[in-house]
Structure 1
Amino acid sequence: MHNQSAHEISHESSVLSEYIAGTLDRDIPRDVALKTKHHILDTIAAILSGSRLRAGRLAAAYVGSFGGNPEAVVLGTSLVLPAASTALANGMAGHADETDDSHLAGRFHPGCGIVPAALAIAEHQDRSGQDLLRAVALGYDIGARTTMALGFNRPDTARHSTHSLGPAFGAAAAAAALFRFDATRVRHVLSYATQQASGVPFWQRDKEHVEKAFDFGGMGARNGVAAATMVAAGFSAVDDPFSGKHNLFTAFGENPNPSQLTDGLGSRFEIMRASIKKWCVGSPIQAVLDATVALIETNNLKAEHVRRVIITMPDDRIHIVDNRTMPDVCVQHLAALALVDGTVTFESCHDRERMNDPAVTAIRRLIELVPSAELTIATPARQAIVEIETTDGRHLRHHAKAVRGTPDNPMDGSEIEAKALDLMEPIIGSGRAAELIHNVLRLDELTKVRDLRRWLAA
C-alpha cells in the first residue's frame, strides 16, 4: 500500500506519536503518579465488583467460550485469555454499573476502557508496575484530548458518543506505549483506532447496563488492544489518521480543533482533572446525593418530615438520569432512597426491588425535577440544588457546588482505599483486598504487573 511521506504528516500526529513512543522512558510528577495509582485502584475495584453484575458475568462467559492463548487475567475469575478478550471482559465489568471514574472535560469514563487495556498489555508484554503507571496516565491524556479536539457540543445534542471515543483512543495509546512502538508504528495504531472508532449516544436507552458497559468500557478497551496487537503482528496502516481529505476530524468532528490533541501535552496531565466517585451512581446524580445527605445530616431529617422535594440540575444532562429504569442512574429513586435510609450504599443503590418499596415510591412521588440553564454553565460543573419543604413548615435548601470526588473537592487517600475495600472484599475477601490495595499503591516498586494476578483472579 502507499503510505504518506514524512512531509505529509501533520504537526499534531508527529508530536503525538513521538510523545506516545517515549512514554515508558519519561518520568511523571509524583502527584500525577499518586493520582494514577488511585484511579487504577478505583478501576480495579469497579471491575472486581462488576464481575458479579450482569454485564460482567455475561462478558466473562462470552470471552471464556472462545479460549485462546493465556495472556492476561479476567479479573474476579480463573480465566487467563488473549489480551483483547481480557480487555473486553474487564472493560465491561468496569462499567457494569456506575462505580467507575469520570472525566468531565473529556465527557467520558476513562478508567473502564484505559485501565483494562493497559493491564492486559502490561501482562502480555511482561511490563513493570512503573510502566503500567506511565501508560495509564498517558491513556487519560490522549483519550481526553481526542474528544476535546473533536469539539462536541452539549451532551443532549451530540451525534457521536464521547463515552465510546475517549476510551478507544486512550486504550490504543496506552497499549502502543506498552509495546514500546516507535513513532511510525504508534501512528499506525492510531490509524486502526480511528477505523474502529464508533459510538452513538443511544446508550441512554439501555435498560440493563449491558450494552452501556460495552459502549463505555469494553468496546474501547478491546479495540485499543486490537489496534496495538495488529500492528505488533506486522499490520501496516495509513501514517496519519488526523489529516488529509478524510480523517478523524472530518468523520466525527462537530467543531474540531486538532491543536487540542497536543495542547499542554507533558505539562497538563488529564488524570489530574478526572474524578473518583464518592457515590456508586451516575455522574449527574453525585451533586444531588451530596446535597440530599447534607440536608439529612444537618437537620436530622427523616422521610416522614418531607412534604415536597425540588431538585434543580443542569439542563444539558438531566435527561440521562430522569426517571430511568436502572436504580443507579435514576435521580428521583436515589434521592428518595437517601431520604428513607438516611444515605445510599453500593448495595442499596443496586437493589432493583427497592424501586418498588412503598416507602421509597411514596417519597419519589413528592419529587419535582427542574432543569436549569444557569447550572449548565456554572463553575464548577455538575452542580445541583436540593430544596425540601417539611411537614412542619420549614424550607430547607442545599446547593452542592463542588462535588465530592472531583478535582475541586477531592476524596483523600483513606476514602479512596475505603471505597475500594468495600467493593472488593465481597469478591476476593478482606485479607486479599487489603493486600491488593497495598500493592497497587506501590506499583512503581513492582517489577512485574503479572505479580498482581494472585489478587486479581478468583
Structure 2
Amino acid sequence: MGVVDTAVSEGTEALATYISGAAKASVPDDVIEKAKHHTLDTLAAAISGSHLRPGKLATGYVKAMGGTPECTVIGSTFLTNAVNASLANGIMAHADETDDSHLVGRFHPGCGIVPAALAAAEISGSNGLQLLKAVALGYDIGTRFNVSLGPRKLYAGGHSTHSIGPLFGGTAASATLMGFTPEQVRFHLSYSVQQASGAQCWARDDQHTEKAFDFGGMTARNALTGATMVAAGFTAVADSLSGDNNFFTAVSNDPRPEELWKELGTRYEIREATIKKWCVGSPIQGAIDAITLLMSQGLTADKVEKLILELPDDRANLVDDRSMPNINVQHLVALTLVDGGMNFESSHDHARMEDPKVKAIRQKTTLIANPELTTALPPRQVILRVETKSGEKLEHRTHAVKGTPANPMTRQEVVEKAIDLVEPTLGRVRSRQLADLVMGMEKVDRAGLALRPLLQP
C-alpha cells in the first residue's frame, strides 16, 4: 500500500468545525422557534405513523432485533439501542405524507433528521436547547449536501436526494449532540459517505413502506451507525469530500462542493422548510387550498360540471391518479368537495377511492402539467378552474401555499395539526403536554428523558 493521503481541504475543515460547535453556538431566536415547529411536526407524524403499516412493521422488526434498552421507540412500550430506534422512528415519521419538506433541497428533512437527533440526545444526555440547535443544523447540512450535488443532479435520476439530504442532516445533528471534535466529525462524515445510497425507484412503491425506509428509516439509522462507531473509537478517512475518489466523484457529474460551507451561520435552511397544513403529498397542498377557498364561496359537489387542475410539470406526475389515496390529487380534491372538508382519516381511507360520489367528481377532473408553474415564484403554485352546471366559471390560483415559507403556519396552527394527529394515541391531555414540552424545549434539561413518557403509550 502506498502513501496514505491524510490531507484535509480548507472547506472540509470549516464544515467539520462548524458542525462540531453548533450545539453550543448562538442561533437566532426565529431559527429556534422554527426548530420547535419542525420537531413537533415530525414527532406527531411519527406517533401517527406508528399505527400505520410501515410503523407497525418497524416496531415489530426492531423489537425482534433486541438491543441495549437506551432509546425510545415511538408508539411502543420498549426501548432499544440508538441505531434500531433511529430506524424505527424514521420509518414512522414518513409512514405517510404527513411530514415536512424542503423545496430547494428536494427532500423531506424531518423524518431522518429528528429521529437521529432524538436518539443522539438520549444517549448523550443533551438538553433541549442543544436538541433544537442540532435539528436546525441538520436542515442546514442536509440541504447543502443536496444542493452541492449540482442542479442537474437535483432534477435528474440517479441517487435520490430524499436519501442523501436526511442522511447528512442526521449525521450533522448527531455529531454535534455527541460532542464530536472536528476530526471525529470528519470521520463521521466519511462513514456516511460510504452509506450514502438510495435510487429513485421509491416512486414505484405503492404501499409507502420501502419509501418510509428510504426517506426516514435508512437515513436516520445510517447516521446513528456512524455516530456510535465514531463514539466507540472507530477512525476513518480524513477527508471523504475532497481528494482522490471522493464523495462527489462517486455521485455527481456537476458537483458544487463549495455549497457545503457557503453562508453557514448566516443562512439557516430551516427557515425555508415547509410544514404541511394538509396530511397529503406536497404537490397537492395548493390544490386543497384552492378547492377549500372556492367551497367557502359556495361551491358544492352537486354544482360541478368540469374541474381542471394545473400543477407544476415537474410535480404533476408524482400525484397523478396514484393508487395511494393520500398522494392522488384528483381523488383528494374530489373527496374534499364531496365531504365539505378533509382530515387525516378521510385522506388515508382506501375505501373512499371507490365511493361513487367521489369517483363521479374524479371523472370530471382533468390534470394539466403546466411548465409555467414550475418556474413561478413563490413555488408550488396551483391553478384550479371549475365550470358549474349553470355555466358559471370559477378560478383560483394558489400563489403562496399554506405552510410554505411564503405563507408559513403559525405556532398555534402547528400545534393544532400536531394535536389532531396524536390525540387518538395520547389523548387530549397528553397531546397538549407534548406540544407544550416541545414549545418550551429550550428550558428542558435532558431532552430525551423528558420526551420519552409522551412518545410512548
Q: Give 1:154 deviation, angstroms.
A: 7.5
CA distance in 2, matches of 1:333, 1:309: 12
1:11-410 → structure 2 map (5 Å cutoff): 11-153=10-152, 157-298=156-297, 300-410=298-408
Q: Give 1:22 deviation, angstroms.
A: 0.6
One-letter amino acid of the structure 2 residue matched with residue 246 of structure 1: N
Cα pair distance change 1:426/1:338, threshold 3 Å? same
Q: Give 1:245 deviation, angstroms.
A: 2.2
Q: Give 1:254 deviation, angstroms.
A: 4.1
1:254-293 CA deviation, whole Å, 9 max, x = no partner?
Answer: 4211111011100011101101100000001111111111
Between 1:370-379 and 1:151-160, the stretch displaced more is 151-160
Q: Identify which of 400, 405, 415 aligns with 2:413.
A: 415
CA distance in 1, matches of 2:155, 2:143: 19
Q: Identify which of 416, 435, 438 aligns with 1:437.
A: 435
1:371-420 CA deviation, whole Å, 9 max, x = no partner?
Answer: 11111111111111010110000111100011100110011111111001
**Paired residue secondary structure (1:397):** strand
Q: Give 1:34 deviation, angstroms.
A: 0.6
1:113-145 CA deviation, whole Å, 9 max, x = no partner?
Answer: 000000011001111111111111111110000
CA distance in 2, matches of 1:152, 1:348: 37
Aligned residues: 455
**Paired residue secondary structure (2:254):** coil
TM-score by length of 1: 0.98
Cα pair distance change 1:15/1:276, threshold 3 Å? same
CA distance in 1, matches of 2:5, 2:34: 39
**CA contact 2:153–2:252 (8 Å) conserved in 1:** no
Cα pair distance change 1:293/1:439, threshold 3 Å? same
**Paired residue secondary structure (2:383):** strand
**Paired residue secondary structure (1:77):** coil
CA distance in 1, matches of 2:224, 2:347: 33
Displaced runs of 4 or more, over 6 A:
none
Q: Which residue of 2 aligns with 1:447?
A: 445
Q: Give 1:58 deviation, angstroms.
A: 0.5
CA distance in 1, matches of 2:291, 2:240: 47
Cα pair distance change 1:32/1:241, threshold 3 Å? same
Q: CA RMSD in A?
A: 1.2
1:95-118 CA deviation, whole Å, 9 max, x = no partner?
Answer: 001000101111000000000000
CA distance in 1, matches of 2:5, 2:46: 40
**Paired residue secondary structure (1:399):** strand
**Paired residue secondary structure (1:268):** coil
Structure 2: stretches of 5+ with no match in the other structure: none
CA distance in 1, matches of 2:4, 2:142: 25
* Percentage identity across paired residues of the two chains: 51
**CA contact 1:152–1:254 (8 Å) conserved in 2:** no
Cα pair distance change 1:324/1:156, threshold 3 Å? farther
Q: Give 1:152 deviation, angstroms.
A: 4.0
CA distance in 2, matches of 1:438, 1:415: 14
**CA contact 1:3–1:237 (8 Å) conserved in 2:** no
CA distance in 1, matches of 2:152, 2:222: 25
One-letter amino acid of the structure 1 residue matched with residue 382 of structure 2: A
CA distance in 1, matches of 2:134, 2:153: 30
Cα pair distance change 1:350/1:59, threshold 3 Å? same
Cα pair distance change 1:254/1:310, threshold 3 Å? farther
CA distance in 2, matches of 1:331, 1:254: 34
Q: Does 1:4 align with 2:2?
A: no
Structure 1: stretches of 5+ with no match in the other structure: none
1:137-189 CA deviation, whole Å, 9 max, x = no partner?
Answer: 11111000000010143866332211111000000111111110100110010
Cα pair distance change 1:154/1:281, threshold 3 Å? farther
**CA contact 1:152–1:253 (8 Å) conserved in 2:** no
Q: Give 1:343 deviation, angstroms.
A: 1.8
Q: Give 1:11 deviation, angstroms.
A: 2.2
**CA contact 1:308–1:390 (8 Å) conserved in 2:** yes
**CA contact 2:42–2:114 (8 Å) conserved in 1:** yes
